[in-house]
C-alpha cells in the first residue's frame, strides 16, 4: 500500500485530492461568497498545500536523496539532491506562507513555475538522450512538472481578472476580510 506513495508524483496527486476536499468544504461553509472568493479559497489551499508539499519534498531530497536519485535513474552519491532540497525548501516556504499572505502568491507562482518547468525539461532531455524511463523521470512527475504551474497560473489570472484590479496591485489581506468589514452590523439581539 505504501509503495503507491513512494511513486514520484503520487504525493502531488494526493495533494490535489486534499486541495479539492478542503476547498469544497470551505466554499460550502462560506456565506456571502462570490466567484472571486471561491477562486481565492481554491488558490489559498492550492498554493498553501503545494507549498507544504515543497517542504515535504525538501525532507525527502535532503534525508533520502539516494533513494530519490535511484527512482529518477540518476547517479547516487552526489550532493545534487541536497541542492534540489534547498530549492524545494525555498519554494515550499513561500507557498506555505501563502496561507496567510496573498502577496506571496505571485512570487510562489514564478518560483514554482521556473523550478518545475526546468525540472520537466531536464526529465525530457534525460528521457530522449539516455532513454531514462525510470518512474521518477518519465512517470507522473514529468507531466505534473508542466501541468501544476499551468493550472495555478490559470486560477491566479482568473482570480485577478474577476477582481478587475490593476496589474500592479498586490493583495495582502484576503478578500473575505474586506467583505466582513463591509457587512452591516447585526442589530443587538438578532441571531448571528
- What does 110-135 look like in DSSP terms, one character per residue? HHHHHHHHHHHHHHHHHHHHH----H
121 lies in some domain: yes
Quick one: what percent of the chain has pLDDT higher than 90? 42
- What lies within 8 Å, CB to CB, of 97 at 6+ separation is 51, 104
pLDDT at residue number 22: 86
6 lies in some domain: no
pLDDT in tens, 77-101: 888 889 999 999 999 999 999 988 9
As for how many domains the chain has, the answer is 1
178 lies in some domain: no
73 lies in some domain: yes
122 lies in some domain: yes
Range of the domain at 122: 13-164
CA angle 35, 32, 165 (to 5 degrees): 45
User: Does position 169 have pLDDT exceeding 70, yes or no?
Assistant: no
186 lies in some domain: no
49 lies in some domain: yes
**pTM > 0.85: yes or no:** no
Quick one: what percent of the chain has pLDDT higher than 70? 80
74 lies in some domain: yes
Amino acid at each position: 500500500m505504501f509503495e503507491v506513495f513512494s511513486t514520484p508524483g503520487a504525493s502531488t496527486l494526493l495533494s490535489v485530492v486534499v486541495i479539492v476536499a478542503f476547498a469544497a468544504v470551505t466554499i460550502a461553509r462560506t456565506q456571502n461568497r462570490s466567484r472571486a472568493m471561491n477562486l481565492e479559497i481554491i488558490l489559498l489551499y492550492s498554493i498553501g498545500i503545494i507549498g507544504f508539499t515543497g517542504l515535504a519534498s525538501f525532507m525527502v531530497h535532503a534525508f533520502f536523496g539516494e533513494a530519490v536519485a535511484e527512482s529518477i535513474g540518476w547517479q547516487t552519491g552526489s550532493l545534487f539532491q541536497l541542492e534540489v532540497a534547498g530549492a524545494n525548501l525555498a519554494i515550499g516556504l513561500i507557498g506555505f506562507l501563502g496561507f496567510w499572505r496573498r502577496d506571496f502568491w505571485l512570487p510562489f507562482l514564478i518560483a514554482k513555475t521556473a523550478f518545475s518547468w526546468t525540472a520537466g525539461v531536464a526529465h525530457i532531455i534525460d528521457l530522449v538522450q539516455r532513454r531514462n524511463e525510470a518512474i521518477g523521470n518519465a512517470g507522473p512527475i514529468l507531466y505534473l512538472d508542466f501541468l501544476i504551474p499551468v493550472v495555478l497560473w490559470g486560477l491566479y489570472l482568473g482570480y485577478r481578472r474577476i477582481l478587475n484590479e490593476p496589474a500592479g496591485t498586490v493583495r495582502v489581506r484576503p478578500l473575505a476580510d474586506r467583505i466582513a468589514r463591509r457587512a452591516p452590523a447585526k442589530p443587538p439581539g438578532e441571531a448571528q
